[in-house]
Amino acid sequence: MPLPFVYSDQDFVTGVCRGRGNSLMPTKFDTTLHASWTDRMDRGLFRYNLGDLQTRILPGRHGFVAQLNVQRGIERRKPQEILSIQQEFNAKQFNFNKINPEEIMFEMETDTVEGNERGQQHPPIKMVVLINVSPLEFGHCLFVPDPLKCFPQVLNTYTVQVGIESVLLSSDPGFRVGFNSLGAFASVNHLHLHGYYLDSELKIESMPVKPLAPERGFYHMLDFPGGFMFYTESEQVKEAAKAICRVTDFLVESNIAHNLFFTRGCPPCESIPSEKDRCLRKGVRIAIWPRKSCFGAKEESAFNVALCELAGHLPFKNKRDYELATERDVIEITQRYLLPDEKLKTLERQLSHLVNL
């Protein structure tokens, strides 16, 4: 078993910017992930050799990042049959306790000691970091909280907190983390987050937002695709994780599928920020898209609409769609999976009230 990766809030990187001349040295987290992931690739543990993916920015104001990843569409494991957002864990189906142990890169542990109300120390919770054997991009990994506990694919506070902390542990503004709920293209009903590096800037990093509960870091994104956003810096991670889970718990209880995307981003603002402010990446933006459920739905031929696609990163399955797709095509495909405006407005009222409680 690889040695654990132990960290504290002292390891968080706050001085991240996007743009030329602002690159920082890789952190211990980046170095560990890079080396472990590359080692597994060299050892042939992935279903295909990723290589340098063809990438192009689609013309238009959204700046969609298109990549050609034919092998993932062909080689990835067949998704499990999902019938409900609240589906129970099934040990007979594929889960992360059945993987090749060599796919484990490392375990994450925090050295921050917490106690319960009686003053006793909690045993450390571990986050196991695995390679994704069908990678989207360099470093594509899975964060699985204590796999033996067999959590279904429903977020909990600890998992959200480590997702945010992972972004803060990286000095690379291109490190992203995401989550697909059941009914939102999650393919395995065993709690996990995705993490990967993408060099290209995404519009979501600086998109204008409308304040809903700004004292709680909660906003409504003002551009396509419509959804909600939390923003947090390193000092408020635990509070943000709790607030995010109040929202996702409500969505699960309401049988509303959802995708989340964690990325470095500039502080929230109601208009396009100045060039100086737009480059700031001190904190983390966590986008939440409530969306239409798709159980047993036929997959799109060009790309599926899940966590990275909603964020503006489009892994195309075939060369023709990759070369010919336009911004309008992407919007038309994505729109099929989004909630109607009236439903989103109702959710805005409900979630604003919930977050403010």
Catalytic residue numbers? 192
Contacts of 153 (CB under 8 A, 6+ apart): 180, 181, 182, 186, 188, 189, 190, 191, 192
Contacts of 315 (CB under 8 A, 6+ apart): 67, 69, 72, 136, 303, 308, 309
Rounded CA-CA distance 252/345 in Å is 18
Residue 156's Cβ-count burial label (10 Å; 0-12, 13-18, 19+) is middle
Identify which of 280, 325, 300 has the alpha carbon closest to the alpha carbon of residue 64: 325
Residue 349's Cβ-count burial label (10 Å; 0-12, 13-18, 19+) is exposed
Rounded CA-CA distance 98/190 in Å is 11
Residue 355: beta bridge partners? none
Rounded CA-CA distance 175/168 in Å is 9
CA distances (Å), origin 27, targets 16, 32, 175 = 12, 8, 12
User: Is the peptide bond prior to 225 cis by the omega test (within 30 degrees of 0)?
Assistant: yes
For the chain, what's the residue count?
A: 357
Taking each helix axis from N to C terminus, what angle separates 157-169 and 237-253, rounded to the nearest 10 degrees?
130
Rounded CA-CA distance 66/260 in Å is 19
- 39 CB neighbour count, 10 Å cutoff: 13
